[in-house]
Every structure is written in structure tokens, then in C-alpha cells.
Structure 1
Amino acid sequence: MQFPELVQRKVTTVDTFFSAKIGGLWCVYQKSPDTFDWGSCDSLLKIILDVCVRCGSSWFEVNTLLIPIHLADLKHWALVKLD
């Protein structure tokens, strides 16, 4: 961050459906982690690997990932930045 000219930042983002999908899968996983069907995560893998149209770039090709998260209890949105 001190020398931005040395590192070119490449950013991608996901849509709000990604946050909802993660939240739904997490609830299912918590109820029965031993019998969780990992095949149900196929749509998430498509987003991560850039197989779907919704994602701008593969997560493996970028420096930064932006994820909008809805905090239902607070009735508020937050933007998570992952480097």
C-alpha cells in the first residue's frame, strides 16, 4: 500500500446472491455437518472459478475481492474487502 505503483491492483466482486447463498449453505451445514452435501456448493465454485457470467474475473486472477454482505439483524449492508 505504501508503493501502489509497484503493485497493480486487480479487483473483482460478487453480487448479493452470493451472500445469500453462503448464508443459506452455512445454516444447512450447521444443522448437520457430518451429512452436509458438498455437491450443493457447485454454484459457489462456478463463481469462484469464473465459470458463471456474474463474476468479473476468477478469484485466482485478482488481488482484491469485494463482497456485499447483508446484516439482517442490523438491517444494514456492509462491503467486505478481501486481499
Structure 2
Amino acid sequence: MTDSPYGWEHQKRRAELLPLAYNTPCPRCGNIMLETDDLDLGHTVDHAIDPHSVGDRIEHADCNRSAGGTLGAMLRSHKERFRPSRAW
């Protein structure tokens, strides 16, 4: 069984970075992040690209999750497009 990438260390990094992120631009959309916003710990190198990457920045939750969904869909589409043909 593998450890969740969103376990204790992830939560600790989020707690450390969160207060520093308030009133600064979101790295994804550029809009200011407020204390009232839903914020996630994001990855500079997306987790789908490098499963060993660690969360290293705070982002709007919507931006983070939308980017992850978009990247995941793109990777799945690419995988489907280049799947070897079974017809020999």
C-alpha cells in the first residue's frame, strides 16, 4: 500500500504556506487570494506529470482542481490516441 500524497506532510506544508499566500496573486489565474477563498496546496510540477513532486505553493482550489482535471483528461486522451492497435 502506498502513502497518500495528501497525508500529514502535505497538510503541514499547506499550513506553513497558507498565511504567506493571503493577498498575493494565485500562481494559476493571477487573481488575489483572500482568507475567505477556498485555497489548496498546489504543485509547480503537476502531480500527474511527476508523482514524486510535492505541493509547494498555494493556489485557488478551483484553479488547482481545474488544472488537474484538464491535465488528467489530456493525458488520458493522449494515451488513448497512441494505444497500439490489436488488429494484426
- TM-score between both structures, scaled by the size of structure 2: 0.26
Higher relative contact order structure (alpha carbons within 8 Å, sequence separation ≥ 6): 1
- TM-score between both structures, scaled by the size of structure 1: 0.27
Task: From the CA coordinates, give the structure whose radius of gyration is larger.
Answer: 2
